Chains A and B, each alone.
Chain A
Amino acid sequence: MKETIQSFLKDKFSHFISKEEEIITNLPTFFLKPEGIVPVLSALKTAPGIELNYLNDLTAIDWLGKKTPRFEVCYLLRSGNKSSTRVQFRVALEEDEEVPSIINIFKGANWPEREVYDLFGIRFAGHPRMDRLIMPDNFQGHPLRKDYPLEGFGQDYLVEDLLTIHLKEDMEA
């Protein structure tokens, strides 16, 4: 499967491949440029013989101090029930770079993308609602970044503030 996808990418999308790095993993991994993620995934979804039609997982890694660029957004796809066909695509990003949203290819990318934005601060261009999903809406910072302390910066974004905000919202409405 790895060879099929590799030759498919080389044939049609060689300008979207960003680098070829060997990493120790159980998943065949391909590095793509940010602008390539939408055309490549939509082509692979229907490409005969490959058909990666199931978005298995979407997450990000913060390599602070280990690698540059700092962030990597990981897309895990598989072809139907054939779990042996799991393939990972990665997009390496600097701190304020954006990556296009794949919500038009896979509906299920909606919440995972919002989660990655919430916890890492990586924005997905074209997402209909790039809001916080898990943390409170007046939370400061992005907790899964490596430079965010484990104990937090202190819990002084009071629950009281949150209540005032929502109360004001209700009064206005």
Chain B
Amino acid sequence: MYEKTAEHFSLKQKKLPEGHLLVNLGPSHPSTHGILQNVIQLDGERVVDAESVIGYVHRSFEKLGERYTYNQFLVCTDRMNYVSTPLNNIGWILTVEKMLQIEVPDKVTYVRMIVSELSRVMDHIICNGILGVDLGAFSGMLHLFHHRENIYQVLEKLTGARLTTTFCRVGGLEKDIYPEFEKDVKTIIKGLRPAIEEFQSLLVNNRIFIDRTEGVGGISAENAISYGYSGPNLRAAGVPWDIRKDDPYMFYDKVDFDIPVGEDGSVLHRTLVRMEEMRQSLRIVEQLINGLPTGAHHADMPHIYLPDKSKVYKNMEELIYHFKLIMHGIKVPKGEYYMATEAANGELGFYIVSEGEKSPWRVHVRRPCFWFYQSFPELVKGSLLADTVATMSSMNVIAGELDC
């Protein structure tokens, strides 16, 4: 009926040598952690060639961004990297705030930083825990998942949702922090610190784990840069780049933390870098929670941040602002802006082209997964089939972020 525009698998067109086998890992396979496919050409258990097929969860966020208002697009960013949603929210909101050139109160920035560092911990717990599961070690994941649940409970109290938090708004936070927030975060840090050490000695220092991961799926620093790697995967290859240090946003230039660096970019080094990053994130959270300022949870800008509902019922001014914001949205001045933040997987960049309307002319998301996952065939060529599972798992490919 329709003309076929492209062949789906180039591997399928190839004439396979005698004894070679094509194996589909995915689209729905326990080791892919999401809906993505790897077609792997095998000679015995040795990988000869591989090919990644993506696009199974594409939801055309960039097209939706051209229709939604700036605050509405926030719900789309939630669904990108769904294991650390607040980090995506904050990246988008900071970009829009930079375009509008508005300042938010210190308290807002503090809370945003605390939440984003806790999300980073959450993301790394998933990645390292599931890597253990993929290699057959289940108990490590269980040890840390209890603490991940604690973080989720704080997010739930703070925002009303666990997964899709939609936490920020342009000019502030969705709502004020709850009274026991400080105490809860301190409890989390207290519980997480020993748990991370326990995880380290239980799984990462285990002889079997090291044998399975050392030197597997490695990449050189030069190659990683050429592929556009960022985040923990790049740092595991020995490149100390971190946007929090290189181009500080929020208050990252005012807190103390170190950037862990690996050596050969192998699965083991990626795991070790993520372990150390969790400790550093807790260090940042501790510094912030001890100096949490008081004050309003949003900037005093009624034409940008929705006015208080009780005032809307009584005052004409607030009613007008409320109406204008709901019906016409925020008008962002004409111009273009690219801003990158350090998400759990690496550089998450939002590129906005505004024509002065209520919604952007063009939105582009530079998502870290998309750039480093294209090197997957090169990483696994020549390794064993079981190693491909470890490699993919340690890269932390999130299908929602990959397809976007």
Chain A interface residues (CB < 8 Å from chain B): 23-27, 53-57, 59, 61-62, 66, 74, 76, 80-84, 86, 88, 106-108, 110-112, 115, 119, 129, 131-140, 143-144, 150, 157, 161, 165-166, 169, 173
The chain A residue sitting closest to B338, CB to CB, is A27
A-B contact list, 7 entries, CB within 8 Å:
A56-B347, A81-B241, A88-B338, A111-B370, A129-B10, A132-B5, A135-B58
* With known contacts A56-B366, A61-B353, A83-B246, A161–B227 Cβ distance under 8 A: no
* With known contacts A134-B55, A161-B2, A57–B336 Cβ distance under 8 A: no
Sorted nearest first, the 5 A-B pairs with minimum C-beta distance are A108-B228, A83-B247, A24-B335, A131-B6, A134-B55
CB distance from B104 to the nearest CB of A (A): 19
Verify if B240 is at the interface (C-beta below 8 Å from A): yes
CB pair B246–A82 under 8 Å, yes or no, is yes
CB pair B8–A80 under 8 Å, yes or no, is no
CB pair B228–A25 under 8 Å, yes or no, is no
CB pair B338–A134 under 8 Å, yes or no, is no
Residues from chain B with Cβ under 8 Å of A80 in the complex: 241
Complex Cα–Cα for A142 and B210 (A): 46
**A137 CB contact (under 8 Å) in B8, B335, B362, B371:** B8
CB pair A59–B351 under 8 Å, yes or no, is yes
* With known contacts A81-B240, A86-B338, A111-B370, A144–B351 Cβ distance under 8 A: no
CB distance from A84 to the nearest CB of B (A): 7
Residues from chain A with Cβ under 8 Å of B60 in the complex: 143
CB pair A57–B55 under 8 Å, yes or no, is no
Verify if B72 is at the interface (C-beta below 8 Å from A): no
Please classify how large the interface on chain B is, using the bins under 10, 10 to 19, 20 to 34, 35 or more: 35 or more
Complex Cα–Cα for A95 and B243 (A): 37
CB pair B225–A25 under 8 Å, yes or no, is no
Complex Cα–Cα for A110 and B377 (A): 13
CB pair A150–B67 under 8 Å, yes or no, is yes
**B62 CB contact (under 8 Å) in A53, A74, A131, A144:** A144
The chain A residue sitting closest to B226, CB to CB, is A107
Verify if B207 is at the interface (C-beta below 8 Å from A): no
* With known contacts A108-B228, A143-B63, A133–B223 Cβ distance under 8 A: no
Query: What mask results when residues 327 to 365 of chain B are scored 1 for a CB within 8 Å of chain A, else 0?
Result: 000000111111110000001010101010000011010
Complex Cα–Cα for A115 and B374 (A): 12
CB pair A53–B225 under 8 Å, yes or no, is yes
Residues from chain B with Cβ under 8 Å of A119 in the complex: 62
CB pair B12–A173 under 8 Å, yes or no, is yes
Complex Cα–Cα for A24 and B353 (A): 10
Verify if B4 is at the interface (C-beta below 8 Å from A): yes
The chain A residue sitting closest to B60, CB to CB, is A143
The chain A residue sitting closest to B98, CB to CB, is A26
CB distance from B83 to the nearest CB of A (A): 21
CB distance from B79 to the nearest CB of A (A): 16
Residues from chain A with Cβ under 8 Å of B334 in the complex: 24
The chain B residue sitting closest to A128, CB to CB, is B10
Residues from chain A with Cβ under 8 Å of B8 in the complex: 137, 166, 169
Residues from chain B with Cβ under 8 Å of A108 in the complex: 226-228, 371, 374-375
The chain A residue sitting closest to B347, CB to CB, is A56
CB pair A26–B337 under 8 Å, yes or no, is yes
Residues from chain B with Cβ under 8 Å of A88 in the complex: 338
Query: What mask results when residues 239 to 250 of chain B are scored 1 for a CB within 8 Å of chain A, else 0?
Result: 111110011000
CB pair A59–B336 under 8 Å, yes or no, is no
* With known contacts A53-B225, A59-B351, A131-B6, A27–B375 Cβ distance under 8 A: no
Verify if B117 is at the interface (C-beta below 8 Å from A): no
**B337 CB contact (under 8 Å) in A25, A53, A165:** A25
Verify if B7 is at the interface (C-beta below 8 Å from A): yes
CB pair A57–B4 under 8 Å, yes or no, is no
Residues from chain A with Cβ under 8 Å of B403 in the complex: 134
